[in-house]
């Protein structure tokens, strides 16, 4: 795991402005991503520079140092992530005559690119962000892994291409200045993170998951999707439940084994749910020593804790178990720092417990952890997902556009004042306008909220355009496909890569640990995408039905079939009492909110929440993180 970055001064060929001091500033801004080593490279022409911070995981010797160049100096690489099958690819390259100086996966990427060009990406099993400078063609190549586990940001100010693992590294360049992207603000409010390629910073972009780009000396950028879930293959309509169970177990065992590749101590974040418990159980099968497990809970708010479930799994599999308990005072002490590490405001409150359990792992000497992200998105594990599927079956699909728009609109206007739940009102609004039901699993502010709160709101501020485009993409590739498959595609376009995986990357790296996600091995993802609804949910629409069946015999049944809790943080309670003053201080002093929103409406949201009239916790949390981000980057 590393932090990478660099500058390509394609418009300054006669007077490049890349210096060691600039590249060092960029890497130092990401020192948390790589406290073990640093390095930089400047091309002989001076028009390209690469920079690097290293968290040593594979080949801890200086031979794994980056930037790394081929023997002839043509290609130079910086790389963030892990290639789990690098040894198999290495054997193939050695048979072709390549001679290695290290045991690192970095060197395999370098030679694979030289041998196969961009097609090498399809051979890699892992998580990665890559930048390769071709000194002969004077061309830069960048790529992001299939699922988007590792981030890559870039900007193109005035004849330059500036990129890095974190936005704060890009901002070290004097050509860039932190400025709010006003067009992204409404989409952050709805989706809790702007969809790629936009960011909350004007002029700064993120490379989409599964995409690569190439830029030449004329500044021409060629971007392409080198992987897409839409190419996973035909749906497995005739697969049996037994066949699905066998394949899930096989793929998951292989994925967990692959992700145990490490030259430093590794462990598991154990929440007590099925996903993290499977990580522990299947890892324990492969180890002769206890698995290191780490859990976080909340003082005095037992309803949010799964500690007793985590302890039961730790006891059953004989792990070396570690715990940390936190409260609102602990949270308040780190919120500003988390806003800095997140780069963009992240509306997910789980960032708080995730930081403390990451720090617990690091303090124990564990550098690599396996986490459970992705399972619910693949195997339909959320109750709200089943709720939306039923709503689609009963309302959207049978009625759809059959009812005239004027009738749907009249029904909405009549029913809306009688409905208190803002989500139900939002669904009625979507139905009345003929919009898609599902926009993604992360929804904070509805369009009604935004219309009341944002100054100058119009239809361009609606986030429907993103959802509509994603639905069109999957409908073109899989006409009339099951709605569960459409929902999974949308989750892999936005919520998973840009919200959930960015919280894992940024918060884990804030504590200088590497988080690996075995459920997001692309072979599991593609298989899960092809499974029909009858297999995923079973005959009675049970969330995560097939994964629960696959867990039988591995985990205790009473653990598998208990009520789902989910990994959460008690921000609803904290904002009502302990963090209320903190919340109000930041919201009502924010110049961003004063400029772009109706503060009277925000005061109403606060009053409703603190009085107990309505649960506005997620809305207020999103606004609070927006102001904390503003204070760290825009002020």
Closest CA to 43 of 212, 217, 174, 167: 217
pLDDT at 566 over 70: no
Which one of the listed residues 2, 48, 120, 142 is annotated catalytic?
2
Arithmetic mean of pLDDT, 544-548: 97
Query: What are the pLDDT digits (tens) for 303-337?
Result: 778 889 999 999 999 999 999 999 999 999 999 99
Give the H/E segment covering residue 126. Answer: strand 126-134
Give the whole-angstrom CA distance, residue 542 versus residue 538.
6
Domain closes at, from 529, 560, 591: 560
Same domain, 405 and 530: no
CATH number of 16's domain: 3.60.20.10
Domain closes at, from 227, 246, 261: 227
Does this model's pTM top 0.75? My answer is yes
Phi, psi at residue 162, to the nearest 5°?
A: -115, 130
For residue 521, give Cα distances in angstroms to 119, 146, 200, 215, 358. Answer: 19, 9, 29, 29, 22
- Tell me, yes or no, whether 288 lies in a domain: yes
Q: Which residues contact 95 (CB under 8 A, 6 or more apart)?
A: none
Closest CA to 65 of 21, 27, 13, 97: 27
Same domain, 287 and 402: no
Is the torsion defined by CA of 538, 543, 546, 550 positive or negative? negative
Give the whole-angstrom CA distance, residue 378 versus residue 488.
6
Give the whole-angstrom CA distance, residue 103 versus residue 81.
15
Same domain, 129 and 160: yes
For residue 292, give Cα distances in angstroms to 84, 318, 361. Answer: 21, 10, 9
Both structure tokens of 133: 């400078």
CATH number of 547's domain: 3.40.50.620
Give the whole-angstrom CA distance, residue 142 versus residue 78.
10
User: Cα 561 vs. chain centroid, distance in angstroms?
Assistant: 28
Phi, psi at residue 213, to the nearest 5°?
A: -145, 155
Same domain, 310 and 429: no
Query: What are the pLDDT digits (tens) for 341-370?
Result: 999 999 999 999 999 999 999 999 999 999
Buried b (16+ CB within 10 A) or exposed e, 142-162: bbbbbbbbbbbbbbbbeebbb
- Tell me, yes or no, whether 482 lies in a domain: yes
- Tell me, yes or no, whether 339 lies in a domain: no
Closest CA to 497 of 478, 470, 472: 470
Query: What are the pLDDT digits (tens) for 465-478?
Result: 999 999 999 999 99
Query: What are the pLDDT digits (tens) for 150-202?
Result: 999 999 999 999 999 999 999 999 999 999 999 999 999 999 999 999 999 99
Find the helix packing angle between 351-363 and 328-342, rounded to 10°: 90
Closest CA to 483 of 132, 491, 78: 491
* Domains identified in the chain, total number: 4
Same domain, 67 and 187: yes
> Where do we find the tokens 């003053």?
581
Query: What are the pLDDT digits (tens) for 46-99?
Result: 999 999 999 888 777 888 899 999 999 999 999 999 999 999 999 999 999 999
Give the whole-angstrom CA distance, residue 147 versus residue 498.
10
pLDDT of residue 56: 82
Same domain, 202 and 220: yes
Give the whole-angstrom CA distance, residue 418 versus residue 155.
47
SS3 track for 51-89: EEEECCCCCCCHHHCCCEECCCCCEEEEEEEEECCHHHH
Is 2 catalytic? The answer is: yes
pLDDT at 12 over 90: no
Is residue 185 within 8 Å of residue 444, measured between CB atoms?
no
Give the whole-angstrom CA distance, residue 48 versus residue 7.
6
- Tell me, yes or no, whether 352 lies in a domain: no
Give the whole-angstrom CA distance, residue 128 versus residue 517.
12
What domain range includes position 481?
A: 383-440+443-492
Both structure tokens of 466: 């993103």
Q: Which residue has the higher pLDDT, 635 or 548?
A: 548
SS3 track for 158-194: CCCEEEECCHHHHCCCCCCCCCECCCCHHHHHHHCCC
Q: Which residues contact 355 (CB under 8 A, 6 or more apart)?
A: 334, 338, 507, 510, 511
Split at pLDDT 50, 70, 90, the class of 414 is confident
| CA angle centred on 253, ends 251 and 256, rounded to 5° | 105
Classify 368 as helix, strand or coil: strand
Same domain, 411 and 479: yes
Closest CA to 48 of 177, 139, 155: 139
Same domain, 219 and 256: no
Arithmetic mean of pLDDT, 113-141: 98
Split at pLDDT 50, 70, 90, the class of 21 is very high
Q: What percent of the chain has pLDDT over 90?
A: 85
User: Cα 504 vs. chain centroid, distance in angstroms?
Assistant: 7
pLDDT of residue 401: 63
Same domain, 114 and 223: yes
The 320-326 sheet, strands edge to edge: 320-326, 292-298, 266-269, 368-370, 514-516
Same domain, 43 and 192: yes
pLDDT of residue 1: 62
Q: Which residues contact 184 (CB under 8 A, 6 or more apart)?
A: 194, 198, 199, 200
Is residue 101 within 8 Å of residue 107, measured between CB atoms?
yes
Give the whole-angstrom CA distance, residue 542 versus residue 190.
28
Both structure tokens of 375: 């399972």
Same domain, 309 and 204: no
Same domain, 467 and 399: yes
- Tell me, yes or no, whether 326 lies in a domain: no
Q: What percent of the chain has pLDDT over 70?
A: 99
- Tell me, yes or no, whether 267 lies in a domain: yes
Give the whole-angstrom CA distance, residue 158 versus residue 144.
24
User: Omega before 244 cis (within 30°)?
Assistant: no
- Tell me, yes or no, whether 34 lies in a domain: yes
First to last CA, the chain: 31
Q: Which residue has the higher pLDDT, 401 or 625?
A: 625
- Tell me, yes or no, whether 453 lies in a domain: yes
Q: How many CB atoms lie within 10 A of CB 315?
A: 10
């Amino acid at each position: 795991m590393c932090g990478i970055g660099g500058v390509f001064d394609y418009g300054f060929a006669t007077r490049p402005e890349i210096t060691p001091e600039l590249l060092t500033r960029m890497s130092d801004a990401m020192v948390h991503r790589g406290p073990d080593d640093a390095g930089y490279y400047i091309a002989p022409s001076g028009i390209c520079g690469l920079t690097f911070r290293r968290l040593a995981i594979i080949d801890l010797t200086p031979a794994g140092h980056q930037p790394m160049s081929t023997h002839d100096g043509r290609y130079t690489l910086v790389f963030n992530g892990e290639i789990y099958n690098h040894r198999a690819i290495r054997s193939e390259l050695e048979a072709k005559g390549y001679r290695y100086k290290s045991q690192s996966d970095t060197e395999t990427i370098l030679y694979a690119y030289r041998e196969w060009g961009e097609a090498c990406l399809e051979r890699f099993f892992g998580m990665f962000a890559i930048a390769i400078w071709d000194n002969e063609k004077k061309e830069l190549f960048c790529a992001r892994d299939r699922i988007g586990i590792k981030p890559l940001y870039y900007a193109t100010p005035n004849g330059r291409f500036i990129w890095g693992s974190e936005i704060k590294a890009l901002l070290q360049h004097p050509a860039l200045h932190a400025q709010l992207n006003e067009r992204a603000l409404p989409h952050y409010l709805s989706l809790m993170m702007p969809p790629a390629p936009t960011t909350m910073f004007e002029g700064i972009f993120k490379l989409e998951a599964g995409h690569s780009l190439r830029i030449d000396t004329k500044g021409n950028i060629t971007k392409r999707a080198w992987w897409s879930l839409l190419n996973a293959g035909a749906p497995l309509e005739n697969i049996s439940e037994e066949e699905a169970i066998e394949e899930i177990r096989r793929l998951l065992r292989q994925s967990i084994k692959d992700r145990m590749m490490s030259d430093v101590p590794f462990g598991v974040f154990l929440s007590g749910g099925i996903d993290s418990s499977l990580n522990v159980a299947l890892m324990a099968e492969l180890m002769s020593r206890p698995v290191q497990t780490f859990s976080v809970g909340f003082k005095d708010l037992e309803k949010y804790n799964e500690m007793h479930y985590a302890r039961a799994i730790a006891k059953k599999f004989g792990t070396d178990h570690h715990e940390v308990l936190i409260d609102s005072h602990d949270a308040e002490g780190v919120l500003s720092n988390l806003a800095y590490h997140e780069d963009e405001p992240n509306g997910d409150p789980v960032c708080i417990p995730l930081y403390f359990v990451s720090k617990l792992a690091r303090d124990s000497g564990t550098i690599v952890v396996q986490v459970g992200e992705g399972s619910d998105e693949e195997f339909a594990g959320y109750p709200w997902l089943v709720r939306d599927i039923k709503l689609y079956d009963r309302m959207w699909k049978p009625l759809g556009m059959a009812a005239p728009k004027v009738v749907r609109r009249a029904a909405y206007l009549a029913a809306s004042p009688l409905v208190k739940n803002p989500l139900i009102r939002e669904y009625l609004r979507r139905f009345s306008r003929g919009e898609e039901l599902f926009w993604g699993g992360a929804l904070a502010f509805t369009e009604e909220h935004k219309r009341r709160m944002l100054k100058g709101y119009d239809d361009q501020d609606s986030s429907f355009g993103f959802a509509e485009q994603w639905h069109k993409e999957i409908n073109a590739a899989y006409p009339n496909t099951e709605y569960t498959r459409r929902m999974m595609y949308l989750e892999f376009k936005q919520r998973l890569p840009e919200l959930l995986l960015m919280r894992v990357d940024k918060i884990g790296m804030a504590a200088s640990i590497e988080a690996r996600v075995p459920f997001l091995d692309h072979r599991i993802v593609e298989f899960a995408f092809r499974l029909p609804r009858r297999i995923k949910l079973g005959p009675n629409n049970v969330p995560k039905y097939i994964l629960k069946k696959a867990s039988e015999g591995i985990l205790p049944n009473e653990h598998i079939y208990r009520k789902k809790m989910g990994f959460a943080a008690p921000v609803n309670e904290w904002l009502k009492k302990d963090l209320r003053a903190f919340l109000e201080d930041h919201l009502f002093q924010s110049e961003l909110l004063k400029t772009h929103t109706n503060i009277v409406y925000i005061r109403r949201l606060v009053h409703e929440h603190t009085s107990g009239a309505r649960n506005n916790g997620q809305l207020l949390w999103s606004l609070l993180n927006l102001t904390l981000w503003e204070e760290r980057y825009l002020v």
